Structure 1
Amino acid sequence: MRKETTGVRFKFWIHLIIWLLYASVCMWVYVVRAGYPDVILVEYVQIFLICAVFFYSNADFLLPVFFERKKYFSYTCWLLVSLALNNIIHYLVLAVIDGYWLGAKASARSLTPYEQTIGSVWWWFQSILLSFGYWFARLSIKRKEEVQTIRIEMAKKEVEQLKLVQDKLELENEVLRTQINPHFLFNTLGYFYNKVEDTHPDVAEGIVALTHIMRSSLRKVDTDGFVSLEEEVDNIDYLISIYKMRYSNNVYISFEKQVNCPHLRIVPHTLITLLENAFKHGDMHDPAHPLTVRLEADTTYISFFIHNKKRFGPKEISNGIGLAYVAKHLQKVYPDRHILQIDNKEFFYTLNLKITGESAVTLQ
């Protein structure tokens, strides 16, 4: 309540100062510049009080009630009524009241009805014109605040939705951890590895790669919610080796990496999920169009590029949420510090991700 009262007082004083400045400029123009030294101060005070009445009546009543609601005919009628009232008030104040109060001074400088009408209309026109500007500025600020409020509300809802999705995925991951005993899983994979290490070394290598990927997926992330880029790169190497083994090396995959700072941190499973999407929907059996993957990283940026030929016909089962989840998660973690560009053409698919600035957080 005290804050609102202070705001009203501040607004009152601002308006009063502006009116005093406006009145001072007008008096200087008419008295000094135009050469009317016998103008009586009391008359000017009355004139500006009348102007203020029609200024605020138009800005605070006529324009909001009629003009904003597109009742232009009603607004025009009321505007003409205000003009008539203005002329009557000017006549009563300047001709009758001033004649009674000022006596000889007012009689010596009495105006003709024509001059009085022109003067009153001119002052009314100024007040109406200025009120239009004041109303428009206030309306613009109000609409800007409304748009800003809507954007803030939409941003809050989007953050809440992303939080719900994240909580759901974390819950599902926790449920998965409770359903699968990691020790049992890794012991079993270790047993398979020992059984085939001598007879099928390529299968043994695939088991090792799968073990590393699953260990990375099942373990909890660090307290900051990030993992090292080095771990993400290792998972990419393991995933590529598994796919090559799966198709008896009859796939063409080019993975180029230039990582000058392997200890950078990144959102977990971001890069490997994007690569999995290429494996699901890409054709890697054409030597003329291999799956091309490039990773560049330095202390200030991480750049990840994927280009593949599309596969037509039967595809692997996909729930379709991987890429959408990565995009939303990137927007949440790096709202202004990442660019995700996807060029989805008829025969080829290209993805380019770049994370810059403070998003590339170095390990302490």
Structure 2
Amino acid sequence: MKKKTTGIRYKFWIHLMVWVLYGSECTYVYTVTAGHPEIVLIENVQIFLICAVLFYSNSDFLLPAFFERKKYFSYIGLLLLSFVLNNVVHYLVLTVANPHWLGPNANYAYYTPYELGVGATWWWFQSILLSFGYWFARLSIKRKEEVQIIRTEMTKKEMAQLKLAQEKLELENEVLRTQINPHFLFNTLGYFYNKVEDTHPEVAEGIVALTHIMRSSLRKVDTDGFVSLAEEVDNIDYLISIYKMRYSNGVYINFEKTVRCHHLRIVPHTLITLLENAFKHGDMHDAAHPLTVRLEADTSHISFFIHNKKRFGPKEISNGIGLAYVAKHLEQVYPDRHLLHIDNKEFFYTLTLNITGEAAMTQQEI
């Protein structure tokens, strides 16, 4: 608001200065040869006030209101009316009012009708012509600014669309990447299972668990883009069992689940990816600080909680794609109905995911 007020003041002083300079130049020319320069000065001030009224009436009202809207006949009619009013005002001021106001010294200022008509017409024509130039210049600047604004908005929109398309492509690439490796593994799991089923039943059990996880990963999601929450919970159980077998039950993991509605559906691989991140970076060998996982779900919300002690020293190779993928996917599917909070402290890592509202999840009909 302050900037706008400053601009108006600046414009006012610029216009005033131009009128003063223009009027001073004309007044100087007329008063050099005049017998009564003080009277000529007064008359010129009057004339320039009339010209200013014509100038701004045309540039700020008639042209924008009629000419720009292609109401040409109305504009021409009003322009002719301004011509008539200009001549009448000139006549009243110069031949009636001034002799009365200025006294005997103004006698010389009586004009013949011809002189009055020519002078009034000249000043009217000059004011209208200058106002046309001023209006055209201002309109050109305005349209250039509008074009620049449109180009800027289009550029922003194009950049936003490009960014969205790029993010979508990245997500699709990551989904494809997560499918390629499991697909290769899945083709060999059956062979390994048959080889170790009799000799190493615990390994065979682990292969079965891994097979279920791989099958869930490779299975095409339903048309709504969701999978059942029960399937996601089963995958968590399978993943935990694999890690326990991997470390000969030397890891401490507490998984608590309270699912009051077993037909909820959720974005696939969301929970298991978050849990896998904890396995990669967490220390699960401390009985005093076990990996704690809690899942609560009903018809109005899903809450997922992970708390683990951080591991120091050698860690599993990770590119950090999984967590970033989940965060982007959640933002796209639940833009206003989820909260992903991570508390990454020096020794402990805590993650909380809350999805709220019936619109945040779908419920498969029984």
The normalised TM-score by structure 1 is: 0.61
RMSD value, Cα:
4.1
* Structure 1 unmatched ranges of 5 or more: 1-62, 113-140
Q: 2:181 aligned with 1:191, yes or no?
A: no
Match runs of 1:195-214 below 5 Å: 195-196=198-199, 200-214=200-214
Q: Distance in 2 between matches of 1:333 and 1:111?
A: 82
1:315 corresponds to which letter in structure 2? K
Structure 1 window deviating more from structure 2 (233-242 vs 293-302): it is: 293-302
Inter-CA distance 148–304: structure 2 relative to 1 (3 Å threshold): farther
Cα displacement string for residues 42-75 of structure 1 (whole angstroms, at most 9, x for unaligned residues): xxxxxxxxxxxxxxxxxxxxx9xx969xxx9999
Match runs of 1:57-136 below 5 Å: 77-82=14-19, 89-91=48-50, 97-102=87-92, 107=97
Equivalent residue number for residue 13 of structure 1: none
Q: Distance in 1 between matches of 2:331 and 2:95?
A: 76
Matched residue of 1:195: which SS?
coil
Q: 2:161 aligns with which of 156, 174, 193?
A: 156
Q: Distance in 2 between matches of 1:312 and 1:335?
A: 35
Equivalent residue number for residue 295 of structure 2: 295
Contact 2:182-2:217 within 8 A present in 1 as well: no
Contact 1:189-1:211 within 8 A present in 2 as well: no
Deviation at 1:166, TM superposition (A): 2.8
Contact 2:171-2:325 within 8 A present in 1 as well: no
Deviation at 1:230, TM superposition (A): 0.6
The normalised TM-score by structure 2 is: 0.61
Larger gyration radius, structure 1 or structure 2: 2
Q: Distance in 1 between matches of 2:167 and 2:313?
A: 34
Deviation at 1:278, TM superposition (A): 0.5
Inter-CA distance 319–100: structure 2 relative to 1 (3 Å threshold): closer
Q: 2:104 aligned with 1:167, yes or no?
A: no
Inter-CA distance 175–280: structure 2 relative to 1 (3 Å threshold): closer
Inter-CA distance 152–78: structure 2 relative to 1 (3 Å threshold): same
Inter-CA distance 270–177: structure 2 relative to 1 (3 Å threshold): closer
Identity of aligned residues (%): 58
Deviation at 1:308, TM superposition (A): 1.1
Cα displacement string for residues 13-56 of structure 1 (whole angstroms, at most 9, x for unaligned residues): xxxxxxxxxxxxxxxxxxxxxxxxxxxxxxxxxxxxxxxxxxxx
Task: Tell me the number of residue pairs that the alignment of Structure 1 and Structure 2 aligns.
Answer: 266
Inter-CA distance 340–152: structure 2 relative to 1 (3 Å threshold): farther
* Structure 2 unmatched ranges of 5 or more: 24-44, 54-84, 103-145
Contact 1:283-1:309 within 8 A present in 2 as well: yes
Structure 1 window deviating more from structure 2 (269-278 vs 214-223): it is: 214-223
